[in-house]
Chain A
Amino acid sequence: MSGRLSTMAAALVVARRDFGAILFSRSFLFFLLGPLFPVLVGAMAGGVGQRVQQSADTPQLGIAMEEQHVDAMLAAHKALAHRLGDALPDLTVVRTLKPGDAFDAQAALTSRRARVAAILGGTPSEPILTGTQARVAQWQGPVSMLAAHALGKSPQNYPEVSLSGVATSSAGERRSRLLTAQASQTLLFLLTMLLAGMVLSNLVEEKGNKVIEILAAAIPMDAVFFGKLFAMLAISFVGIAVWATAGLGLSVVAGSALPDLPPPAVGWPIFLALGIAYFSMAYLLLGSIFLAVGSMASTVREVQTLSMPATMMQLMVFFLASYAMTQPGSPVEILAAIFPFSSPFAMLARAAQDPALWTHGAALGWQVLCVVVLVRAGARMFRTRVMKSGPARVKPAKRGLFARLRPARA
């Protein structure tokens, strides 16, 4: 005879079976590949877009003057370029005029033959800037400086400016950490939504196979639920590992196309560890709800109907956590950190913005407690509402979704 299993040991038996079964299934391969396609297409589109933007977003100032004026203007541009930086537009010669030549700048701009944003004509002493109103307003100052320098009317010696740099300002730091928080929250949300959905169909399959009664007779229902959650969590880590590897590969290929996030308040190593912990908690919390939903449903269609409220709730929770992130220390942020379903999101955002660590210990403890309570409640609901039998007594009004609740034959 065999020995008695503890709840966790029993959960591991279920988890091991589920993990193996899912990992080596065809659907898991498609599940893995699924998100890679949009990422790949996105990265490629981003790379192409960046090149297009680079070429489109570098407007040049055309110059159409007599030769000596062109030379003077180009020399002035060269002298001022390093002092004015981005304020000074690139200068390109559209046409070198001979004395008496006429040049219609407006016609040149309208015909789009000249690939410049504005054209500078006339002479350095009487420059004429032709372009759109916004462009003319933008370049009016730099052009007059250029012209003045070409005429020798601007200071030849500029005083040296001593530079004293700071890494960041408090406002800048807050803004950049907010960006990290936002990015991590969004990633967490997408991952949990993507993976929690897989739990749903899992239990439906189990009920379809009629294995559930064997499980329920041998081990506590809590262990079945925990086992399924652990298996899916492990599967999700495999998925994340694959996606992260693919992402890393893409970052090597795409280089600067990928965002460069500012460091979080707790530092990258702790932030990543917390990210994994909060992902696990967010997933377990959502998964326990979806598992309870899945246990109530007997078909994929029922699952979709029943899971809709849970999905909506998750969206609302994400919005709450996103809003709370912008109000650190406010009652809304504290509420988001305490409410179990938004807690992982809110706390991860907090890790990006606040270096304190004790709050994360407390939050993780609270979240674990909530997972246990939810799983137990789901298992209890499953036992009381689903594992029922008795003579079939179908009322005409009870059909479809609710037909499942009727007693089965004994």
Chain B
Amino acid sequence: MKMDLRDWRVAGNAAIAGDAALAIEARGLVKRFDGFTAVDGIDLCVPKGAIYGILGPNGAGKTTTLRMLLGIIDPDAGVRRILDADRPHDVAHAIGYLPEERGLYPAMKAYEAIAFVGALRGLPLKQGRERGRALLEEHGLGFAADRQIRQLSKGMAQQVQILGTLVHNPALVIFDEPFSGLDAINQGRLERMIRDLAEKGTTVIFSTHVIAHAERLCDEVAIIAGGKVPFAGPVDVARDRIPPQVRLETREPDGPWRAALPGDARKDGSLWSFSLPASGVEPLLRALIEGEAGILSLSIERAGLHDAFVAIAGEAAAKALEAGETTEDAR
């Protein structure tokens, strides 16, 4: 039976969707290729105005999910709603998209390429040309406006394409692995651009296999692994999935205070590491003092997104993610 998003929310999923206005709602998205399930029942709710990261290793199903959301391919099952429209192409004029595999016509001039992408999104060509030139100037590429794409460096061509994604002033921007192929300086520029867009109220979704980008930029993330989303929500909530880590250094190597340490405590030199017990830090401190541990130092560190990713997606997915990051660094 085909399910409508309204039915889904009525059926008790309002908490997932929340009350905030949503740029994207997707429920139970499934995509199979030749019998292989690339995406297996994904639910996503992206609030309007948020910076939303889709985090997962290569092959996790990020691109397929984005393509389904954009209407490039249709899901085999599930429903999606993007900018309050059931058919993504109905709101294509309000969406900007940068695919993972960058593509521009090599013979086109830079400003024409930007105008063409805008024209595809309904921006009149004349206006697109003017804005193309203006955007290039604004981003320090004014000198390249009349150069053909084939005459630009790969990084410059990629920037031209990013500007093409924004030329029609979209309400929702979707970047698929936007940092891939950019050097550190341009990665920083892109991060700033994403923050600026969000400040102006634009919803930004990007996929990445680099946790640091998601951690620095995102309000919310969806962790995707093996075609499923084991977690979707605010970054803080993801971190809170695992308890804060306590690092303890004591003067006394042993004593009654050891009874206060939880079962996962492990010693590395003179330093003890363990998860903060659910009862909190005060009972722990009291037990350590009463047990005469002789506390030299005690720090409580909140889990990072990487740790959260390991805890949520599993060791294998984390290793795949790290492998992807290593490959990216090597480029």
A211 to B31, CA, bound (A): 23
B99, B106, B122 — most chain A CB neighbours (10 Å): B122
Interface string of B246-275 (1 = CB under 8 A from A): 000000000000000000000000000000
A165 to B63, CA, bound (A): 79
A407, B33: Cβ atoms closer than 8 Å: yes
Q: Say whether, besides A5-B93, A217-B97, A409 and B72 are in contact (CB < 8 Å).
A: no
A209, B59: Cβ atoms closer than 8 Å: no
A43 at the interface (CB under 8 A from B): no
A214, B93: Cβ atoms closer than 8 Å: no
Within 8 Å CB of B33, what residues of A?
388, 390, 407
B105 at the interface (CB under 8 A from A): yes
A residues 24-55 near B (Cβ < 8 Å) are 25
A238 to B58, CA, bound (A): 47
B99, A384: Cβ atoms closer than 8 Å: no
B120, A407: Cβ atoms closer than 8 Å: no
A209, B103: Cβ atoms closer than 8 Å: yes
A115 at the interface (CB under 8 A from B): no
Main secondary structure of the interface of B (DSSP, over half): loop
B154 at the interface (CB under 8 A from A): no
B61 at the interface (CB under 8 A from A): yes
B55 at the interface (CB under 8 A from A): no
A210 at the interface (CB under 8 A from B): yes
B84 at the interface (CB under 8 A from A): no
Within 8 Å CB of A10, what residues of B?
120
Interface string of A1-38 (1 = CB under 8 A from B): 11111000010011001000100010000000000000
A213 to B101, CA, bound (A): 8
Q: Say whether, besides A21-B105, A410-B63, A1 and B92 are in contact (CB < 8 Å).
A: no
A219, B34: Cβ atoms closer than 8 Å: no
A3, A210, A214, A391 — most chain B CB neighbours (10 Å): A214
B61, A215: Cβ atoms closer than 8 Å: no
B36 at the interface (CB under 8 A from A): yes
A217, B122: Cβ atoms closer than 8 Å: no
A216, B72: Cβ atoms closer than 8 Å: yes
A215 to B121, CA, bound (A): 10
Interface string of B227-242 (1 = CB under 8 A from A): 0000000000000000
A409 to B64, CA, bound (A): 9
Partner of B93, one of A2, A389, A392: A2
A220 at the interface (CB under 8 A from B): yes
A13, B119: Cβ atoms closer than 8 Å: yes
A220, B89: Cβ atoms closer than 8 Å: yes
Chain B proximity of A299: nearest CB distance (Å): 16
Q: Which residue of B lies closest to A3 (CB)?
A: B122
Within 8 Å CB of B72, what residues of A?
213, 216-217, 383, 387
B117 at the interface (CB under 8 A from A): yes
A353 to B33, CA, bound (A): 52
Q: Say whether, besides A13-B120, A410-B61, A219 and B89 are in contact (CB < 8 Å).
A: yes
Segment with Cβ contacts to A, from B41-49, B166-174, B185-193, B301-309: B166-174
Chain A proximity of B223: nearest CB distance (Å): 14
Closest 4 CB pairs of A and B: A210-B103, A391-B59, A390-B38, A2-B122
